[in-house]
Each structure stands twice: as C-alpha cells, then as structure tokens.
C-alpha cells in the first residue's frame, strides 16, 4: 500500500509538472507567433516620427517578445533600429519631421554621436527635428542639440556641467576582510587593477583620464557650438554655472534652449510644423512602428551580401562567464569563432563589417578571435566599426582589419594586459581556517586557498603576462604596419579617444557604421548588394532558455540599492569568474 501511494503521488506530480511545462511552452509559442506576425506599418500623410528615449541603448535590440515578458522595467533600444528608422523617415514622403522626447537614455557619447549625425543627415532632406524634455541629461542634450528647435518645460532642468570620471576603490574594504589582490601587469597606464591595490588614481592614470575627458568634452562642445551657433567658450562658461540648478529662463538666455513650453502644448506645436490644423489629429509613428516600415528601396537580387557582425560586451572564453544581469551581451569567443568561419565559407558574403563595442576581457579569447579574423581576411575584406569602446581586448580583435573606423569619442587603444590572483589568507585567518598540504612537485599546490603566491610563482605569473603583452604588441604592430618599438611608446595600456587614435595611426578614419559600410562596399567592388546582420538575433525560445531570472532579479535589487555604483560592484562579484589574464579597460570609467 505504501508503494502504491508513493507511485500515485509521483504520477500526479509528474502530470502537474508536465502541465506547467506545456503551459509555459504554449505561452512562449503564442508570444513567438505574435512577434513574428507583426504587420508592416503603413504611414499616413503628414506623420511625425517620435523618438521617445527612456531606457538603455545597445548595439541591437532585444527580441520584442522577451522584452514584453520582462515588462517596462527594462527597455533596450537598438542603435541599429534607431539609425535604420531615421533613414527610412528621411526617405519617406509621409514623414514630415522627427520629434525627439528626451527622457533618460543610458548610452555612450560615441553612440549618441552616431544618432546625432543621423539626425543632421535627416535635416538635409528639409524636414524638421524638434526636441523636448522636462529635464535634459547632458548626454541627451548633446543629442538634442542637433534639432532645429529645443523645447524645455518652463520649470524644467538642463544638465550641462562638463565631464568627470570618479572610479571606486576597493582596497581598504578588501584590507578589512583580509583579501589582498596580487597583481601582475604590463603597461604604465594599465589602470584596471588600481581599484584593488590603491585608494586613488596613479599619476599616469590621472594623466590619461584627463586627456581623454578633455578630448571628448572638446568634441561635444564643438558639435553643440556648431549646431547652436555658440562659441565653445560660451558653452564652457555655461557649464561652470551648473545649469541644472539655474532657472529654465537662463537656458534660453544663454542659447542652449529655444523655447519654454509645457509638454501639453507640444502636440499643437508639432501640428503647425507638419501643416496640420489644431482640430485635426497628428499621426505619430513610434520607433517600434518605424521598424516595421518597409524600406523604400528595390529588392536586390544579386545575391551579394555585406555582412555586419556585432561583437558587443566583455570578451569571454565561453558563455560560462556570463554577466550578472543575465540580459547583457558578451562576446563569447567560442561562438564568435564559429560564426566568423561560416562567414568566411559563405561565398555570397563579399565583405564583413565587424562592429566592435567592447572594453576587452579575456586575453586568450581575444587571441583566438584575432586568428579567426586573420583567416577571414584571406577570403574577403574586413572593416572594423568601433562603437563607444573598442579598447584592450576590443582593440586586439580589431587591429588586423583592412580598415578601422571609429567615432572621435570612441575609447580605444589600451594595449596592455594584467593578471589578478586574490590572496585570501587574511580572511581565512580571521575565520580560523587552517590549511595543510601534501604534494608531489614544487608547484603542485599553485593557486590553492590559504596562502599567497611564493616568489617563484609570482615570477612565472609576471613572465606569462609579459609574454602576453609582447604577443599583443606584435599583433597590433603587424596589423597596423607600425614598428613594434614605436608602437610600444603609445601602447603601455594607455586609453585614447578615436580622434587621437587616428593621429597615432591606431585608427584609419573617423565616422560611424555607415562609413564603415561604404568602405566595405568599395573594397568588395560590387554595385548590387544586401546588408545583413550577424549573428542572428536569438529568437524567443533561445532568449528564454538563456535568460537567468535569478541573475536578473538580483541585478534589479542591486541597482535599486547602489544606483550608480552598480557596475563596479557587479564587476567585483564577477571577478571570480574572469579569466585570470585580462586585456581590458578599467572595470568602470564612470564618465559623466
């Protein structure tokens, strides 16, 4: 009888689990069908495209079904979608202008410049661009400065204060818990290790941070000055006044804003620009609708493909070292190598634009990707387009391309590597833990908990890092056609902006992904082609199976508790998962 009930309960439990599983599969299937059945958007006459920016900017957007499942707490805009939509709006006779509603967008200045340049190009068609915000963040004001008219709430605020970098240092905290970071590095400017071994910036790091902040701010003020018919001196004077806390009228007086207006009146203002009577409806087309607008181009039948391959995020050996949030992207070395091999073997692919947006990561994975790109180049042109970051490992995988294109505000270079090995003996002593060992050879217990590295082990670690740096330097020297000794002078782990990198020969041209595509098409020597993006965006089922709800919930809680310190603290947690030899930027540059 006991066995009977045991089997009965097991059967019932199995049925319940199966029902729940099939229920979720059914829900996923339904969302997948809804997502794939989105119909083409048909534009009405006198429409206005609306860019309502309120979330995070990535190179590519999430699957719409997954975004629906995650709710409004996590909105990701794809830079590719925004640029494509602006281009379609320019080509459409039905679209009369673009309305930029600048709420809050987490994005780097290089990405913002790409959107800004697209808006300036849109204006060449004679159509209008209008921006409005209750409060402009500094980044979104930079974007909005491309508009014909900038509107601000009469009681709104405008952030214009200059740039700053404020890294967080963990050394004293680690000292208190008894953890020492044993550091091995090459590069005077390789500052990624400083948060773990110091309490303030080194002189070298302070020098490089000051240099690239000055360069980025110079680019921003020049762009804004040109669009607003102001001088850079006037813009710097306004920044020194801390405009955020000044009355909105002062933003108009100093030329940063054109008109003060309540949000409720913006629609009628746009109607006037679009030639619509106040009593009539204003057709507004959002970004999601614009994505489904058919391109105003004849379908290419040549079969030629220009591939755009997106490499975004930290470089890791495999997906095991996934980010804390469970939704952020990584450059998975194993998968990237497979994808690049397929592009090499695909005879229809005539050229590849490698879009790199990465602060670096695993030195080993970077070398493997570098080799895959070298093999790809034997068959077809490879053009690199750099996003906000393409530094350290991000530069490693870019250095042997036929042509490298970067934005002036891209952070790149940082040619150097480091290794970190935590020594937790102080912590284990505090906890009262004792260790003993039996070993057959001198270094059999290398890396074991409870003791620091000995002199021999430290020497070997540093030798390994030196060899890695020499290899990195060799790859870059060969790829860029610069003598190794000469390159070493501008390497040393130093971070450069795209504009300075061009002067130094680390970058060939300044521009965005559109310029990289032009170069790729020219090098391919073709007239007819189709631009296709790789790797294929994960579908709903792939996204769902890879999505880690525990990590996602944990990241939301951490973000709510620590705010702006989320990134450095989460990276501290991930340190234990990282490859010990790294080629990457400081964990968080905190440019604001």
| Residues catalogued as catalytic | 190, 392
Backbone angles phi, psi at 531, to 5 degrees: -90, 125
Q: Are 532 and 390 in contact, with CB atoms under 8 Å apart?
A: no
Rounded Cα distance between 238 and 136, Å, is 15
Round to whole Å and give the CA distance between 566 and 174: 18
Q: How far apart are CA 11 and CA 5, in angstroms?
A: 10
Instruction: Output the six-digit token pair for 19.
Output: 């029902």
Residue 48 has a CB neighbour count (10 Å cut-off) of: 23
For the chain, give the number of residues.
592
Q: Which two tokens stand for residue 144?
A: 């909005």
Conformation bin of residue 459: beta by default, left when phi > 0, alpha when psi is -120 to 50: alpha
* DSSP H or E run through 190: none
Cβ 356 vs Cβ 387: under 8 Å: yes
Helices (H), 244-291: 248-253, 266-274, 287-291
- Distance from C-alpha of 322 to C-alpha of 573, rounded to nearest angstrom: 12
- 102 membership: H or E segment, kind and range: strand 95-106
Tell how strand 382-391 and strand 411-413 pair up.
Answer: parallel
- How far apart are alpha carbons 304 and 349 in whole angstroms? 6
Q: Spell 511-547 as b/e; 16+ CB within 10 A means b.
A: bbbebbbebbbebbeeeebeeebbbeeeebbebbeeb
DSSP string of 3-34, one letter each residue: HHHHHHHHHHHHHHHHHHHHHHHHHHHHHHHH
With H, G, I as helix, E, B as strand and everything else as coil, classify residue 578.
coil
**In what helix (H) or strand (E) does residue 312 lie, and over which residues does it extend?**
strand 305-312
Residue 497 contacts residue 408 (beta carbons within 8 Å): yes
* Secondary structure (DSSP) of 339-398: HHHHHHH-TTEEEEEEEEEE-EEEHHHHHHHHHHHHHHHTTS-EEEEEEEEEETHHHHTT
Query: φ and ψ at 235, to 5 degrees?
Result: -65, -40
- Please identify which residue in the block is written with the tokens 């039905």: 94
Q: Report strand pairing: 495-497 vs 417-423.
A: unpaired
């Amino acid at each position: 009888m006991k066995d009977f009930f045991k089997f009965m309960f097991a059967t019932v439990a199995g049925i319940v689990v199966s029902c729940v599983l099939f229920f979720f599969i059914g829900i996923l299937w339904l969302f997948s069908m809804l997502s794939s059945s989105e119909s083409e958007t048909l534009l009405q006459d006198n429409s206005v495209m609306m860019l309502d920016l309120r979330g995070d900017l990535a190179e590519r957007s999430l699957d719409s079904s997954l975004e629906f499942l995650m709710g409004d707490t996590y909105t990701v805009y794809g830079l590719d979608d925004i640029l494509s939509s602006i281009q379609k709006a320019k080509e459409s006779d039905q679209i009369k202008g673009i309305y930029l509603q600048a709420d809050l967008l987490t994005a780097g200045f290089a990405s913002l410049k790409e959107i800004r340049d697209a808006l300036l190009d849109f204006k060449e068609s004679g159509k209008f661009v209008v921006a409005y915000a209750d409060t402009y963040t500094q980044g979104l004001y930079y974007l909005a400065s491309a508009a014909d008219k900038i509107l601000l709430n009469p009681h709104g605020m405008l952030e214009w204060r200059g740039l700053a970098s404020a890294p967080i240092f963990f050394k004293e905290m680690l000292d208190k818990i008894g953890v020492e970071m044993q550091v091995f590095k090459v590069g005077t400017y390789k500052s990624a290790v400083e948060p773990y071994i110091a309490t303030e910036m080194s002189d070298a790091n302070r020098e490089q941070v000051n240099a690239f902040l000055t360069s980025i701010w110079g680019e921003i003020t020049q762009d804004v000055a040109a669009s607003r018919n102001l001088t850079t001196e006037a813009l710097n004077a306004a920044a020194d006044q801390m405009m955020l806390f000044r009355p909105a009228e002062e933003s108009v007086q100093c030329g940063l804003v054109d008109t003060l207006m309540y949000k409720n009146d913006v629609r009628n203002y746009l109607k006037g620009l679009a030639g619509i009577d106040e009593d009539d409806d204003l057709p507004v087309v959002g970004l999601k609708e614009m994505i489904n607008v058919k391109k105003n181009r004849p379908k290419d039948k040549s079969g030629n493909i220009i591939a755009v391959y997106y490499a975004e995020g930290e470089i890791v050996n495999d997906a095991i070292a996934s980010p804390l949030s469970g939704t952020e992207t990584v450059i998975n070395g194993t998968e990237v190598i497979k994808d690049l091999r397929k592009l090499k073997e695909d005879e229809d692919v005539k050229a590849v634009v490698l879009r790199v947006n990465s602060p670096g990561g695993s030195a080993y994975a970077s070398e493997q990707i570098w080799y895959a790109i070298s093999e790809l180049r034997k068959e077809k042109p490879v053009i690199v387009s750099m996003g906000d970051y393409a530094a350290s490992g991000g530069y490693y995988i870019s250095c042997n391309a036929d042509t490298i294109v970067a934005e002036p505000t891209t952070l790149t270079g940082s040619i150097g590597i480091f290794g970190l090995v935590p020594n937790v003996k102080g912590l284990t002593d505090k906890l009262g833990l004792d260790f003993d060992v039996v070993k057959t050879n001198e270094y059999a217990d290398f890396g074991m908990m409870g003791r620091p590295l000995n002199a021999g082990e430290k020497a070997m670690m540093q030798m390994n890092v030196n060899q890695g740096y020499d290899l990195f330097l060799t790859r870059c020297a060969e790829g860029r056609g610069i003598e190794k000794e000469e390159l070493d002078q501008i390497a040393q782990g130093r971070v450069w902006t795209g504009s300075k990198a061009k002067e130094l020969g680390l970058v060939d041209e300044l521009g965005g992904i559109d310029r990289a595509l032009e170069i790729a098409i020219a090098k391919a020597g073709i007239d007819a082609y189709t631009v296709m993006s790789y790797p294929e965006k994960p579908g709903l089922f792939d996204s769902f199976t890879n999505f880690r709800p525990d990590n996602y919930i944990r990241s939301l809680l951490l973000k709510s508790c620590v705010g702006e310190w989320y990134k450095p603290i989460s990276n501290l947690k991930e340190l234990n998962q990282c490859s010990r030899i790294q080629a990457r930027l400081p964990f968080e540059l905190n440019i604001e």
